Copies of this chain bind each other. A is one copy, B any other.
Amino acid sequence: MKEDAWIAAIRRWTGGRRRADVIAGIGDDCAILRPAAGQDLLVTTDLLIEGVHFRRGWLTARQAGWKALARGLSDIAAMGGEARQALVSLALPAWADERWAKEFYRGMAELAEKWNVAVVGGDLTRGRLFTADIVVLGSAPRGKALRRDGAKTGDVIYVSGALGRAAAAGYRDVPEPRLALGRRLRGRATACMDLSDGLVLDLHRMCAASGTAAELDGVLPAAPGATLEQALFGGEDYELLCALPPGARPPRGFARIGRMAPGRPAGAVWFAGARLKIVGWDPFR
């Protein structure tokens, strides 16, 4: 297929009911969108590269498409937002034939459908390695988006699910973005982010941004089969990590894992009386 035939096919694969918020989707130089009044706009972009973020054979094409979009949706969830639209840039190597590409878009479209996200554009090229960059646009009521830098000493730290799940599964499964849980934190959490690089590294980042330190409880909600090390340092769980003021009731679905302490130094993470080394998934490590 030539580029124009690919674009026509992608348009079919990604569906496209008419929506009031999408004036023009795939096929022009830009997508034209109409944001709702009174809402702030959330934007995130994430690369998924063969050999870095996934290996052929570890995920099916459909799982790779799901995962690419799920990572972006998880960023919207972390802000307490609603996901609205997505764009996807792809570089297809020779091994990724039409069938593979179709399955990739199918996986993406399934997850998009589930959360009422419109696929409105992207870019397409050849490349030596399969590369996808996903852009997700979302919204939150003006001034209400959750950030990672607002945690205070004394806040209680929660997570939205079991830790170390992806690591225990050998990174061969795909995540469910926690959009519904994220929205429940709006107006309640002082800080929120998603767990992509491991609890300790991501919690360190929340603490560093907030000027606090964290004291983890002695017992953590580890996923079935996950080791303590996987629960502390395993990446790609895509659960939400948040802080709530002391005494605040967490929404259903969140488990307590510790509390925020004075930042001496900011960013320190304590567990079982010891200061943990800050490690996790870091491509530059």
Proximity string of chain A (1-13) to chain B, C-beta cutoff 8 Å, 1 when within and 0 when not: 1111010000000
Assess whether A1 is in contact with B42, with CB atoms less than 8 Å apart. Answer: no
Please indicate the chain B residues that have their CB under 8 angstroms from the CB of A53 in the complex.
Answer: 125
Q: Which residues in B have their C-beta under 8 angstroms from that of A41?
A: 32-35, 41
Most chain B beta-carbon neighbours within 10 Å: one of A42, A124, A138, A149: A42
Residues on B with C-beta less than 8 A from A46 are: 89, 123
Contact B42 A30 (CB under 8 A): yes
Interfacial chain B residues near A2, Cβ < 8 Å: 282, 284-285
Chain A 31-75 near chain B by CB (<8 Å), digits 1 or 0 = 111110100111111110101110000000000000000000011
A29 part of interface (Cβ distance < 8 Å):
yes
A185 interface hit (Cβ, 8 Å)? no
Q: How far is it, in angstroms, between the C-alpha of A47 and the C-alpha of B88 when the chains are bound?
A: 10
Chain B residue contacts of A79, Cβ below 8 A: 28-30, 32
Instruction: Say if the beta carbon of A283 comes within 8 Å of chain B.
Output: yes
Question: Residues of B contacting A43 with CB < 8 Å?
Answer: 30-31, 33, 85, 87, 120-121, 135, 137
**Interface readout for A115-132 with B: 1 if CB under 8 Å, 0 if not?**
000001111111111010
Cβ of A142 within 8 Å of any chain B Cβ, yes or no, is: yes
Quick one: closest B residue to A81, CB to CB? B30
Q: Which of A37, A52, A76, A89 has the largest number of chain B CB atoms within 10 A?
A: A89
> Do A40 and B33 form a contact, CB below 8 Å, given A283-B126, A284-B3?
yes
- Copies of this protein in the assembly total 2
Q: How many residues of A contact B (CB 8 A)?
A: 71
A44 to chain B, nearest CB (A): 4
A24 in contact with B125 (CB, 8 Å): no
Q: Is A23 an interface residue (CB 8 A)?
A: yes
- Whether A215 sits at the interface, judged by CB under 8 Å, is no
Say yes or no for A111: interface residue by CB 8 A criterion. Answer: no
A117 to chain B, nearest CB (A): 14
Q: A interface vs B, CB < 8 Å?
A: 1-4, 6, 23-24, 27-35, 37, 40-47, 49, 51-53, 74-76, 78-79, 81, 85, 87-89, 91, 120-129, 131, 133, 135, 137-138, 140, 142-143, 145, 147-149, 193-194, 205, 208-209, 282-285
18 new A-B contacts at CB < 8 Å, known A1-B284, A2-B282, A29-B194: A2-B284, A3-B283, A28-B149, A29-B78, A30-B42, A30-B81, A32-B79, A33-B40, A35-B35, A45-B122, A46-B89, A46-B123, A47-B89, A51-B128, A52-B126, A89-B133, A123-B133, A126-B283
